[in-house]
Amino acid sequence: MSTSTTDLTHGHDDDAVKVPLLERIPGRGSAAAWPLGLAGVLILVGGTFLSWSYTSDVLGDLSVDFYPNGVQICMIALGVAALLFLLAHRGPLHRFGEWLDTAAAVRVLGLGAVAYMVITLGIIAYQSGGLVNINPGGWISLLGALLLAASGLMLVSRQHRDPLFAKTSSWLEISTIVVLMALVLFGAAYALDIGDGGSFLLFLLFVSAVALALTRAGAFTWVGLIAQKNRPVLMLGAFAVAFLFPFTQGGSDENMSIATQVLIFAATALGLNIVVGLAGLLDLGYIAFLGAGAYVGAVLSASAFATIDWKPPFIVVVLVGALFSAMLGLIIGSPTLRVSGDYLAIVTLAFGEIFRFTMGNLDGSNGPDITNGPNGIPAIPDLAIGSFDFGQPHTIAGITLGRFANYYFLLLLIAAIIILVFTRLNNSRIGRGWVAIREDEKAAEAMGVNVFGLKLFAFAGGAFLAGMAGTVKAHHDVSVTPDQYIFLESAFLLAAIVLGGMGTVAGVIVGATILKLLPEKLRFIADYRLLIFGLVLVLMMRFRPEGLIASHRRKLEFHEDDEELAQRIEAVHLEETEVKA
């Protein structure tokens, strides 16, 4: 992989000597680097057991000695992770150091600890009235973080083997997946339970530092490999985590409301992923298909404001809503999919706005009385399937599950269906045709691919999946109004796909979770939310354009000049082929 370098000459001679920036750090490779890191960890963790703040109303309560709160526990966990990498670098865990870039991991954890402490002390000073209100424990932990960062910058990597070629037993691989799924479950439960915006921001910084450290060390390379080898176990573990999540919330309707919104958003984004991620069609009006399904669910509900007397069972409503959205996809797709690029984006954007205005005009004055115009359809009753009322709390194993938990399980089932459809299509002949169209439409057509038919099917299929989610959203939100389906929502759906990783399931779910969870938890910076969001996207396009979780194909597309990455991926594919043979 490329390393940042600096030119030691003053000219532009082609023979100029390039020396990596890290090699110019004073003390680089010094024998004192390792003990310095150990001292940094001890001081960092030791400071967390002392008071950080004079006042007790900042970031929970950081004013008590020998009783770390959540903010301090994150620093303890980061220190333990750094200690493990230091022991793998030189110590009893040195065998792991042969497979991992431990120096890079310690470097990231050290710099992350410094950023964490600086932000924490800044918040304490801002909220409590000055630096004088920072107690010694905070300064001690900051000193430990600085020592750890200095150690990471001085350490030299001792990695000799590529984690891609590590041979491990099946029980270790499965155990690793189980542990990771458990960490995801309890991490998500803990994150949702954080009420303070500053504490939540610090928790995100902690998770990001640990994840980046594992990535730089090469651990996630091995995790990705075993995930591919044990895909059924991974999928089962992921759905087990999703299923058990409501039982960790203690009946909190607030947290489960956020979780259901994330699922609705993720399910809709997965449908858009077919259009954008697989077929490569830029759709800026996709939110209209979700709205179409929601309006079908509303007008066929038992609401007093519903304008259609037919009240079919909910399973019929889901199918009608999905088919209605798919029909709209066919109607808008048939004349417009003959254009591409910017023109297609403009047409789909116009379709989204036309849908919103049309729903506002079907009020009996400007058109037929179907949607009650701008007032929408309120007072939509909760679903009732058989004797199960989704609006009533239910107790399972002594744990009360409220209204939003009931909808969460229903949406989880719909999301599972959407994921199944997406993965089957992606791995089918149709999916390969979509990818061919995305890569080069003219070449695909020359090879006999039915370009227009597959593009139309992608449009209608994505709309069908969005319509399914929309019928549940209507009952979950209790009302449906035109202003819920504005262009900005389509932009966020598209951003979730780009941020998470186009063409992948896990990436879209991660992207949807980030874009729905962060605004709820960071309300204290609501005025700057879009600014921060835009900056994050710019940084993503610069440093990781393939998304947070990308397929091998996307990595190679965005890193064509990275011959090392291409050779490693090719070697892994050859090895997997030999194993299957």
pLDDT digits (tens, 9 = 90+) for 236-263: 888 888 888 888 887 678 888 888 998 9
Of 186, 263, 270, 192, the closest CA to residue 520 belongs to 192
- Look at 22-26, 223-227, 394-398 and tell me which has the smallest mean pLDDT: 22-26
- Look at 8-12, 41-45, 508-512 and tell me which has the smallest mean pLDDT: 8-12
CB atoms within 10 A of CB 195: 10
Q: Rounded to an integer, what distance in angstroms lies between the CA atom of residue 257 and that of residue 484?
A: 17
Yes or no: say if 196 and 135 are a contact pair by the CB < 8 Å rule: no
Q: Which amino acid is at 35?
A: P
Q: Which amino acid is at 329?
A: G
Of 324, 329, 300, 294, the closest CA to residue 312 belongs to 300
The predicted structure's pLDDT at residue 6: 41
What the block records as the tokens of 281 is 């069609």
Highest mean pLDDT among 5-19, 100-114, 275-289: 100-114
Q: Rounded to an integer, what distance in angstroms lies between the CA atom of residue 147 and that of residue 124?
A: 22
Q: Which amino acid is at 460?
A: A
Domain boundaries in the chain? 25-164+196-213, 272-390+406-493, 552-581
**pLDDT band per the 50, 70, 90 thresholds, residue 400:** confident
Q: Rounded to an integer, what distance in angstroms lies between the CA atom of residue 65 and that of residue 57?
A: 15
Average pLDDT over residues 112-134: 92
What the block records as the tokens of 516 is 């729905």
Q: Which amino acid is at 200?
A: F
Q: Rounded to an integer, what distance in angstroms lies between the CA atom of residue 417 and that of residue 398?
A: 29
Average pLDDT over residues 106-123: 95
DSSP 8-state symbol, 383: P
pLDDT for 496-542, tens place per residue? 888 888 888 888 888 888 888 887 777 777 777 778 778 888 888 88
Average pLDDT over residues 55-78: 90
The predicted structure's pLDDT at residue 316: 93
Q: Where are the alpha helices (DSSP H) in 230-313?
A: 231-244, 253-273, 287-299
The predicted structure's pLDDT at residue 560: 53
pLDDT for 358-371, tens place per residue? 998 988 787 788 88
Work out the angle at residue 552's Cα, subtended by the Cα atoms of residues 575 and 493, and round it to the nearest 5 degrees.
150
- Number of residues written out for the chain: 581
The torsion angles phi and psi of 348, rounded to 5 degrees, stand at -70, -35
DSSP 9-23: SSS--TT--EEEGGG
Of 183, 217, 248, 246, the closest CA to residue 86 belongs to 217
Distance of CA 307 to the CA centre of its chain: 39
Average per-residue pLDDT in the chain? 84
Distance of CA 425 to the CA centre of its chain: 22
**pLDDT band per the 50, 70, 90 thresholds, residue 168:** confident
Q: Rounded to an integer, what distance in angstroms lies between the CA atom of residue 267 and that of residue 111?
A: 36
Q: Rounded to an integer, what distance in angstroms lies between the CA atom of residue 9 and that of residue 213?
A: 33
- Look at 93-107, 357-371, 374-388, 514-528 and tell me which has the smallest mean pLDDT: 514-528
What the block records as the tokens of 535 is 């900056």
The predicted structure's pLDDT at residue 551: 67
Contacts of 391 (CB under 8 A, 6+ apart): 381, 382, 383, 384, 403, 406
Q: Rounded to an integer, what distance in angstroms lies between the CA atom of residue 362 and that of residue 31?
A: 76
What the block records as the tokens of 215 is 């990535």
